[in-house]
Amino acid sequence: MDRELILALSGVTCRYPGAPRDILQGVSLEVRAGEFHAVLGPNGSGKTTLVRTALGLVRPVEGHADILGRPASAWSRRELARVVGVLPQREDNLFPQRVRETVLLGRYPHLSLLGGMRATDRAAVERALVACDARDLADRWLWTLSGGEYQRIRLARALAQEPRLLVLDEPTASLDLRHEMELFELVRALVDAQGLAVLMITHHVNLAARFADRVLLLAEGRSAGAGAPGEVLTRETAERVFAWPVSIAPFEGRPQMIPLRPRKDAP
Amino acid sequence: MKYVLLAAVAVVTLAGAVLLGAAEVPLRDMVASPIVWQLRLPRAVLAFLVGGALGVSGVGLQALVRNPLADPFLLGLSGGAGLGAVVAIAFDLPGPWALPLAAFVGAVGAMALVYRLGLMGGAELDPRILLLGGVAVGAFAGAITTAIVSLAQATELRNAFLWLWGGFSGASWTTVLVMVVYAPLPLAVLAAAARPLDLLALGEEPAQYLGADVRRLKRLVYLAASLLTAAAVAVAGVIGFVGLVVPHVCRLVWGRLHRTLFPTAFLAGGILLVAADTLARTVVAPRELPVGIVTALLGVPVFAFLLRRWTVS
């Protein structure tokens, strides 16, 4: 099984001027086509910096970040947007707009300066809407959508870019159980059906363990474990990284983490 | 379709501006009348170009600072231009171009200062600092302007005051030519930025992920929109509300995409200012109101209505 290498970080170290310690230290990661990677770790462990480095917005002081064999910082934003689709944690909606208009923004990196939308662009938008089960929403105003629908639309916009790699930064942070599960199922289906490479930052250790092929566990800017969920998420590692007693129980062959309540009556 | 409609309204408005005026010009003499050819027509065309420039500049700056209440004059340009103009008036600088040139220099000076302030945090232009810096620079220039005006002679004072409220009484084919030569470059820069500006509405980081070179975009849009406003203020003084209200009206009617917004704002801004100028020189004829007063009287109620809509929805 030799899938194409999409994103490669090797020995990445990042430092912000004046910061007491390195934000990232010697972190490596390889994401191949058709793989779902999850990045886990407590707040401030360097997850977002890792993603920003992978996307060429932060330059590592040591090591390197390559996308399709080329340094991430050497890509122009436009070229990169044709290869990588991103769902950032936050974005604004300054002016009211409709769902289809929003998804069309995903075609912008493919359009020429003077040219308009071509048939191929419209087809890509339709495909993205269908893939995210959002065709019925196409004519709705964005502000009328629920949180789960909104995330699906943003995913559709990223898919309209026709990327090889999809990067998601805590995409289920404010979703209820059903919408959260639906989003994970959708991302997993895209990975399996289209051979998309996915890199997802999430706080949901258990969902990551069930859906992702590989996880990277970050602690204070260093890798505390990388590989299949079953290898990485052991009790010792999880307790050290998350600084809380846990129990690990297998479910459908994947580890599930249960946080424990500290015993007050212990001797 | 919308362009045909706007173009038709523009033609009607321009025709109205040529037909109406303090002096009675019989219809059959129109074609030969020097009043029409040397006064009304260049004045109407200049008002159209200035209104268009302010409309487009307003669209660009609202997208840049990502604040729907931004106005081309909010970024300190009016203060700088006013200071330049008042200096020219107070020191009685010679020549017909002294006043517009001094106003232009003042506006560009304020622009450069605000730009420098906006870059204080590093290599990235910070829109919030642009806004705050614009207000601060404008207030500073305004203070100096008021100091000069308060020490000036009564007639000078009146001239300065009238200039600050804007007007087209100095319009000629030469000023029209200056605008026609000057405006296309900044207009083209803004037009080329139309799609990236759509993306910028999502925020700077999401815009980058969708392919916009945000750093370059912000600099280009700020410079182009400011230079456009500086030219408008140099030939016509400070005319408020066109650059604020026109972008909103166009956005409400034709949507938020800049490929449509720029051309519609140009046409609508031109129409609004030609109409306002026609009113300014006819309602109290043979005297004239400064056109800025008319745009403010028309613009403030429209703006209040928009604000209400905004807060209700």
Assign 3-class secondary structure to A150-218: HHHHHHHHHHHCCCCEEEEECCCCCCCHHHHHHHHHHHHHHHHHHCCEEEEECCCHHHHHHHCCEEEEE
Question: A109, exposed or middle or buried, with CB in 10 Å at 0-12, 13-18, 19+?
Answer: buried
pLDDT for A207 beyond 60: yes
Q: How many separate domains does chain A show?
A: 2
Q: Which of A142-151, B118-127, B164-173 has the highest mean pLDDT?
A: A142-151
Reading phi first (left if > 0) and then psi (alpha if -120 to 50, else beta), residue B241 is in: left
Q: Would the pLDDT of B158 be above 90?
A: no
Which chain B residues are closer than 8 Å to A166 by Cβ? none
The closest of B44, B59, B102, B51 to B232, measured between CA atoms, is B51
pLDDT band at A40 (very low <50, low <70, confident <90, very high): very high
Residue A184 pLDDT greater than 90, yes or no: yes
Would you state the pLDDT for residue A9? 96
Domain shared by A78 and A168, yes or no: yes
Task: Give the pLDDT mean for B132-159.
Answer: 86
> What strands lie across the sheet with A62-67, from one edge to the other?
A24-32, A5-14, A62-67, A70-71
Residues A13 and A67 in one domain: yes
User: 3-state DSSP helix/strand/coil percent for chain B, to nearest 5?
Assistant: 75, 0, 25
Residue B308: the pLDDT is: 77
Interface test with A, best of B199, B208, B217, B306 (most A CBs within 10 A): B208
Compute the C-alpha angle B82/B88/B94, nearest 5°.
150
In a shared domain, residues A251 and A195? yes
How many residues can be counted in chain A? 267
Please state the ipTM of this predicted complex. 0.92
Each domain of chain B, given as residue ranges in start order, spans 2-312
Q: Is A46 left (phi over 0), alpha (psi -120 to 50) or beta?
A: left
Same domain, A75 and A114: no
Q: How confident is the model at residue B184 (pLDDT cuts 50, 70, 90)?
A: very high
Last-in-domain residue among A109, A134, A162: A162
Cross-chain residue pair B213–A76, CB shorter than 8 Å = yes
When CB atoms are compared, the residue of A57, A90, A92 closest to B201 is: A92
Kindly state the average pLDDT of the residues B208-235.
93
Distance from CA of A62 to the nearest CA of B (A): 22
What CATH number corresponds to the domain at position A78? 3.40.50.300
Clarify whether residues A241 and A153 are in a common domain: no
Instruction: Please report which confidence band the pLDDT of residue A17 belongs to, taking 50, 70 and 90 as the band edges.
Output: confident
Residues B133/B76, Cβ–Cβ less than 8 Å: yes
Chain A environment of B255 (Cβ under 8 Å): 97, 101
Question: What average pLDDT does chain A have?
Answer: 93
Q: Is the pLDDT of residue B129 over 90?
A: no
Residues of B in contact with A161 (CB under 8 A): 210
CB within 8 Å: A113 and B192? yes
Residues A67 and A178 in one domain: yes
Nearest to B212 among A77, A101, A157 (CB): A77
Domain shared by A187 and A246, yes or no: yes
Q: What is the reported pLDDT for B130?
A: 87
Beta strands in chain B (DSSP E): none
**Closest approach of B4 to chain A, Cα-based (Å):** 20
Domain ends where: A162, A197, A219? A162
Share of chain B above pLDDT 90, in %: 50
Min Cα–Cα distance to chain A from B254, Å = 11
- Beta carbons of A169 and A89 less than 8 angstroms apart: yes
Local structure of B200: helix, strand or coil: helix
State the pLDDT at residue B251: 87
Residues of A with Cβ-Cβ distance to B61 under 8 angstroms: none
B201 closest CB neighbour out of A57, A94, A106: A94
Q: Which two tokens stand for residue B120?
A: 């204080």
Chain-centroid distance of CA A18 in Å reads 28
pLDDT tier at A1, thresholds 50, 70, 90? low
CA distance A122 to A110: 12
The two three-digit tokens of residue A86, written as one number: 């991103």
CATH node for B2-312:
1.10.3470.10
Whether A75 and A187 map to the same domain: the answer is yes
Q: How far apart are CA B41 and CA B148, in angstroms?
A: 35
Q: Tell me, what's the pLDDT at B312?
A: 59
Closest-CA distance of chain B to residue A57, Å = 9
Q: CB contact, 8 Å: A73 with chain B?
A: no
- A132-173 pLDDT per residue, tens: 989 999 999 998 999 999 999 999 999 999 999 999 999 998
Q: Which positions in chain B touch A169 (Cβ < 8 Å)?
A: none
Find the mean pLDDT for residues B95-121: 88
Range of the domain at A217: 5-83+163-259
Residue A62: what are its φ and ψ, rounded to 5°?
-135, 160
d(C-alpha A256, C-alpha A86), whole Å: 28
A137 and A245 share one domain: no
- Using a CB–CB cut-off of 8 Å, the residues of B that contact A are 66, 68, 192, 195-196, 198-199, 201-203, 205-206, 208-214, 251, 255-257, 313
Residue B313: the pLDDT is 54
Confidence of residue A265 (pLDDT cuts 50, 70, 90): low
**pLDDT tens digits, A86-138:** 999 888 877 778 899 999 999 999 998 888 889 999 999 999 999 998 999 99
What size, in residues, is chain B?
Answer: 313
* CA distance to A143, A150, A182, A183, per residue, from A133 (Å): 18, 12, 11, 11
Q: How far is the C-alpha of B257 from the C-alpha of B194, rounded, in Å?
A: 8
How is residue B4 written in tokens?
Answer: 């045909």
Which residue stretches of chain A are H helix? Answer: 47-54, 77-81, 99-104, 119-131, 147-160, 177-194, 205-211, 229-232, 235-242
Q: Which of B66, B192, B205 sits opposite A94 (nearest CB)?
A: B66
Are B232 and B239 within 8 A, CB to CB? yes
Residue A60 has pLDDT above 90, yes or no: yes
pLDDT attached to residue B3: 93
Mean pLDDT value across residues B181-200: 96
Q: Does A92 sit within 8 Å of B192, measured CB to CB?
A: no
Indicate whether A145 belongs to any domain: yes
Same domain membership, residue A28 and residue A99: no
Residues of chain A above pLDDT 90, percent: 82
Residue A124 lies in a domain: yes
Confidence grade of residue A266 (pLDDT, cut at 50, 70, 90): low
- List pLDDT tens digits, range B144-154: 988 888 887 77
**Confidence tier at B279 by pLDDT (50, 70, 90):** very high
Cβ neighbours of B174 (radius 10 Å): 10
The pLDDT assigned to A21 comes to: 82
pLDDT band with cut points at 50, 70 and 90 for residue A77: very high
Task: Confirm whether A130 is domain-assigned.
Answer: yes
Contacts of A117 in chain B (CB under 8 A): none
Of A162, A193, A212, which closes a domain?
A: A162
Cβ contacts below 8 Å, chain A against chain B, sum to 68
Taking residues A260-267, what's their average pLDDT? 73
Look at residue A256 and give its three-state secondary structure.
strand
CB contact under 8 A, B210 and A108: yes
Looking at the predicted structure, is the pLDDT value of residue B128 above 90?
no
Whether B310 shows a pLDDT value over 70: the answer reads: no
